[in-house]
Chain A
């Protein structure tokens, strides 16, 4: 029986299905959450994802207005790596209607940790500063009838970890950790006159801005190092972005090493390998102690 591959896409979503007699694999891309960064494209082991400019999606009735991910259906093998590496949570992988990421199940890919901790006891009544600060509207503060903060709901799955909420909170009640660390710089001498493509592409407001001198400025404090700016930049080499580490659960997987190498660099990947072997040595020494006792 021919394997049915069905791709339905419009400006706001893409649904790829592999329909078989006994199983149905689904990969859903929420284009409203996709910022057109380069993480999934780099991490996909089958090169099944392409970050496409609106001009490359002309076949759609109503092409998206911004750069967004596109999936090549004949290459995708529904491993789920994209759904894990996307820090904005734009992908959703499921099998037979249930959310299921095969690579997480087998620990072939680590869980990328989205860490946001809130100590509601520190929140003053009626305060909504974090909710208002979140650029992606992922925070929802719940109050008791008396106006006391009882719960700060954070949609962690979709939080890229920009830390704006933490910096903006005057009461030290919210703590986050960056998922990706790195460095970014822009060689403004290469910028075309009047270009602000990177500024428009950046998903976190205020990270990139047009400074008083008319050049692009960077506020690296909130940068999530997603690389959307680099994808949008019309000049090759104007934006220098280097990721150093990705905050994740420990796994031992060649697929992760390869993805990490592409996302960061060979050097940074080997650093992680070294730290892992260090941890391994530590583990075995600890086991030895237990046995001695």
Chain B
């Protein structure tokens, strides 16, 4: 390690943050600061109420100049929160930004251990000690510059995606708008009216859809699937499969003459299966692009459409799926939501009783261009119902189904009730069963008042069950009126269920393709709920609209425009910088010169390493994502990951285990999932025992066998390796490589006499704070159960073996 031999005098400054009372309320900040001053190489230490504030940052800059600091440690919140902020601060003071290190004493300490202020203070000290130990070995690094492709991919052509695409195109960037279905438009195109203005939905969205189609900078790729995404910010390579429509895009004029001659009808999914469409058709007349499609699942190949198409020759039954490759600099995910269809049959009789429908189906019923021509009729007898009951929160706000609020159901139900009253007046009685009515944006509360004034009956209470009158097919609703405080029954001729909005189909697969996380609710997870609502943890990939959580139209439009602006911040530059935390191979140590090794090239998830026979392996820096898997796999220890060197991590382990190691749990957690999960445990205030010390690595793939061996040699009570869930790894499969490596090691250690529970490998996602806390609780309990004596004895017995194993490579 070059850092160790560096002759320069290392001068470290430590800045301990109170974070108001967030840290200072639990940890004795003054004591910690005093103590930090005693650490070797620390020449300056000070506490501050808010280090991230302007004066706090100024203080750092001043101290760097005044005390000639060449390393800075800030003990505050999670590096996932403010590492970037402080790197910029030190850079402004003329210091290389990579000579900065953060000690996470908020999420991982004060927030997680409010009941143990004394232990938390001790833990804070050690966390700072670990950071200082690493800081001592930091080396200056220069960011890597890579060129940017000035084009964007927008995934999903709903109202959010449409706006994102239009905005970017207007700024002058090439945009590819990818849509899985035949037409863009999304759910908004299915709606009749929009709340609270009662504008016709397709009348306001239709022109936007046409704008997209006409824009010279936008290319719509519809009826296509995303197959693969490779690359990094500024330089993504995207593979897309265009599914065959059997109608040629460039030849179809959209005249529709093929439709009347087609004999086959099938349920139109776009119409919520209420109506039908022909085997050759478009899902709705305003479809964009207006290209007809033959559904070969239903087509009987009579070729009547071929005749009708005639000289246009747009129909090609031999069309094959086509794969295309695009190069883009940024990606916006706008895949929206799906409506929960309670097909299980036991939820309010949907699917079992003919006159129980969902709101989206009601939307198609009341729509003038819908299958019934805008007449609200019952499925059982085709008659207009004289009483309709709306039931809110079906599936949503339900701990057994979807615990979250679906955001827009209250408002669309109000819209439906007003529409009914406008259409049918006193001919229809309208009832709404609700838990809480949420009308929280501009004009929404007035809309609610309007519904009340029109004579809609609002009943506060949950419906317990619905029964069908077998003769009349009317529905008998059993509910509780919480205002009356008693159970009620009500007979309605039709029931409309406001069902939950759920993540759109394929979200899981998309998350995997893009390596972006999802929350426990299944919606995509933003980088920060307040400050980075449009960003994903992957640089260059942004979120817009309901794919991040249910949103109504104005909110989705705003997000679409916002995401476009976020993407433009990348696309408008000719270069982006990539963090220089890449791997570097020491050609003198590389074995590939003598034997056919190439393990690193084989293990690299990105193919960023070239190992030609007879030559030392080389890392292509721009392709390296900095997971460090190769470093851990290299049998000759010839690879170093910058900023996460073996020496730095071992120094952190050393610092963590200097005092009472047998009482401690050493955690090595990946930045994206387990470390973030630990952050969330703190943020959510899930308390867990304070005897864990966490070392952050970018990917669990970086976890070298040596780290574990070294920790046990140092006398660690337990070791926890925290990784992403098997297919959620942010570096494709670094976690699986770690798993193979660690399972083999665990077996070997077990044979040498290590109690199996002392080495744990756990998958914790960024959303699983509660799981992280639970794991630490379990481990601490186990540690107590085993007892100090036994652990010390076991470690003594193991030590010679560990020393032998650690020295083998040297």
A interface residue numbers (CB < 8 A to B): 1-3, 18, 20-23, 45-46, 77-81, 102-103, 105-109, 252-256, 258
Q: Mark B160-172, 1 if CB is under 8 A from A, else 0.
A: 0000000000000
Known A-B contacts A3-B267, A79-B264; A103 and B361 likewise in contact (beta carbons under 8 Å): no
- Supply 6 A–B pairs (Cβ within 8 Å), ascending by A: A18-B267, A21-B275, A22-B276, A77-B266, A103-B300, A252-B307
Q: Is the CB of A1 within 8 A of B273?
A: yes
The interface residues of chain B, by DSSP majority, are classed as: loop
Q: How far is the CB of A44 from chain B (nearest CB, A)?
A: 9
Between A21, A77, A80, A253, the greatest number of chain B beta carbons within 10 A of the residue's beta carbon is seen for: A21
Bound complex: CA A106 to CA B379 (Å): 29
In the bound complex, residues from chain B placing their C-beta under 8 Å from that of A109 are 263, 302
CB–CB B300/A108 < 8 A: yes
* B267-A20 in contact (CB<8A): yes
The contact of A2 among B261, B275, B303, B351, by CB within 8 Å, is B351
Given known pairs A22-B371, A103-B263, A252-B307, the reply for A1 and B302 (CB within 8 Å) is: no
B479–chain A nearest beta-carbon distance, Å: 24
Which residues of chain B (225-281) have a CB below 8 Å from chain A? 261-267, 272-276, 279
Does B304 lie within 8 Å of A253, measured CB to CB?
yes
- Interface residue B575 (Cβ < 8 Å from any Cβ of A): no
In the complex, the answer to whether A254 meets B302 with C-beta atoms within 8 Å is yes
A-B contact count (CB 8 A): 83
Chain B residues whose CB sits within 8 angstroms of the CB of A255 once the complex forms: 300-303
The 7 closest A-B pairs by CB, nearest first: A108-B302, A255-B302, A254-B303, A106-B263, A102-B263, A21-B274, A45-B300
The residue from A21, A45, A77 contacting B371, defined by CB atoms under 8 A apart: A21
Among B262, B264, B298, the one with the most A-chain Cβ atoms within 10 Å of its Cβ is B264
- Chain A proximity of B265: nearest CB distance (Å): 7
**Residues of chain B within 8 A of A18, CB atoms compared:** 267
Q: Assess whether B273 is in contact with A2, with CB atoms less than 8 Å apart.
A: yes
Instruction: Report if A102-B302 is in contact (Cβ < 8 Å); known contacts: A1-B361, A23-B276.
Output: no
CA–CA, A258 to B303, complex, Å? 11
Which residues of chain A have C-beta atoms less than 8 A from B272's C-beta? 1
A46 touches B267 (CB 8 A): no
* B357 touches which of A1, A103, A108 (Cβ 8 Å): A1
B475 to nearest A CB, angstroms?
Answer: 16
Q: How large is the interface on B (under 10, 10 to 19, 20 to 34, 35 or more residues)?
A: 20 to 34
B residues neighboring A (CB under 8 Å) = 261-267, 272-276, 279, 298, 300-304, 306-307, 341, 343, 351, 357-358, 361, 365, 371-372, 379
Complex alpha-carbon distance, A79 and B262, angstroms: 10
Residues in B whose Cβ lies below 8 Å from that of A22: 274-276, 371-372
How far does the alpha carbon of A107 sit from the alpha carbon of B357 in the complex, in Å? 37
- Which residues of A are found within 8 Å of B303, using beta-carbon distances? 253-255
Q: Residues of A contacting B265 with CB < 8 Å?
A: 23, 78, 102
Closest to B260 in A: A106
Q: Which residues of A contact B372 (CB under 8 A)?
A: 21-22
* A18 to B, closest residue via Cβ: B267
Question: Which residues of the partner chain A approach B365 to less than 8 Å between Cβ atoms?
Answer: 21
Nearest B residue to A107, CB-CB: B304
| Residues from chain A with Cβ under 8 Å of B267 in the complex | 3, 18, 20
In the complex, what's the smallest C-beta–C-beta distance from B309 to chain A, in angstroms? 14
Bound CA–CA A102/B299 (angstroms): 13
CA gap between A33 and B303 in the complex, in Å: 32
Residue of B nearest to A251 (CB): B302
Task: Specify which chain A residues have a CB less than 8 angstroms from the CB of B302 in the assembled complex.
Answer: 103, 106, 108-109, 253-256
Interface pair B304/A20, CB less than 8 Å apart: no
Set of chain A residues within 8 Å of B304, measured between Cβ atoms: 106-108, 253
Q: Tell me how far the C-beta of B366 lies from the nearest C-beta in chain A, rounded to whole angstroms.
A: 13
Q: How far is the CA of A3 from the CA of B343 in the complex (A)?
A: 11
Whether A46 contacts B357 by the Cβ 8 Å rule is no
- Whether B358 lies near A1 (C-beta < 8 A) is yes
What is the CA–CA distance of A108 and B301 in the complex, to the nearest angstrom? 9
Q: How far is the CA of A3 from the CA of B341 in the complex (A)?
A: 12
Give Cα distance in the complex from A254 to B305, angstroms.
Answer: 11
Taken together as a complex, chains A and B put the C-alpha atoms of A81 and B299 apart, in Å, by 13
Residues of B within 8 A of A105 (CB): 263
Q: A102 touching B343 by the CB < 8 A rule?
A: no
Chain B nearest CB: distance from A33 CB in Å? 24
Q: In the bound complex, what is the Cα–Cα distance between A207 and B653 (angstroms)?
A: 94
Are B300's CB and A21's CB within 8 A? no
Q: In whole angstroms, what is the CA distance A164 to B358 when docked?
A: 59
A20 touching B261 in the complex, CB below 8 Å, given contacts A45-B300, A45-B301, A253-B303: no
Complex partner residue of B261 from A21, A79, A106, CB under 8 angstroms: A106
Which listed residue, B263, B264, B274, B300, touches A1 by the CB 8 Å rule? B274
**Residue of A1, A79, A81, A258 ringed by the most chain B CB atoms within 10 A:** A1
A80–B379 Cα gap in the complex (Å)?
Answer: 25
With A22-B372, A106-B262, A108-B263 in contact, is A3–B300 under 8 Å at CB?
A: no
State whether A20 and B276 are in contact (beta carbons under 8 Å apart), knowing that A1-B361, A2-B343, A108-B263 are contacts in the complex: yes
Closest residue to A77 on the B side, CB-wise? B298
For B262, give the chain A residue with the smallest CB separation. A106
Within 8 Å by CB of A77, from B275, B300, B341, B351, lies B300
Question: Across the interface, which residues of A come within 8 angstroms of B298, CB to CB?
Answer: 46, 77
Whether A254 lies near B261 (C-beta < 8 A) is: no
Give the shortest distance, in Å, between A248 (CB) and chain B (any CB).
14
Residues in chain A near residue B341, CB distance under 8 A: 2
CA–CA, A3 and B267, complex, Å: 7
- Distance of A63 Cα from B382 Cα, bound (Å): 36
What residues of chain A lie closer than 8 Å to B379, measured between beta carbons?
A: 21
- Tell me the complex Cα distance, A79–B339, Å: 31
Q: Closest chain A residue to B303 by CB distance?
A: A254
Are B275 and A102 in contact, with the CB atoms below 8 A?
A: no
Neighbouring B residues of A256 by C-beta, 8 Å: 302
Chain B residues within 8 Å of A2, by CB: 273, 341, 343, 351
Output the residue of B264, B302, B361 with the most chain A CB within 10 A.
B302
Q: Which residues does chain A contribute within 8 Å of B266, judged by CB atoms?
A: 77
A123 → B minimal CB distance (Å): 41
- A23 to B379 CA separation, bound complex (whole angstroms): 10
Residue of A whose beta carbon sits closest to that of B272: A1
B551 to chain A, nearest CB (A): 25
B529 to A: closest C-beta gap in Å: 36
Q: Give Cα A107 to B267, complex, Å.
A: 22
Contacts of A107 in B (CB 8 A): 304
A102-B273 contact in complex given A108-B302, A256-B302, C-beta closer than 8 Å: no
Set of chain A residues within 8 Å of B273, measured between Cβ atoms:
1-3, 20-21
A2-B341, A77-B300, A108-B263 given; 19 more Cβ-contact pairs under 8 Å: A1-B357, A3-B267, A20-B273, A21-B379, A22-B274, A22-B275, A45-B300, A46-B300, A77-B264, A102-B263, A103-B302, A106-B263, A106-B302, A107-B304, A108-B300, A108-B302, A252-B307, A254-B303, A255-B301
CB contacts (< 8 Å) of B306 on chain A: these are 254
> Min CB distance, B283 to chain A, in Å?
16
**Closest B residue by C-beta to A101:** B263
Given contacts A2-B351, A21-B379, A108-B302, contact A102 B264 (CB under 8 A): yes
| Chain A residues whose C-beta falls within 8 Å of the C-beta of B264 in the assembled complex | 77-79, 102
Residue of A22, A252, A258 ringed by the most chain B CB atoms within 10 A: A22
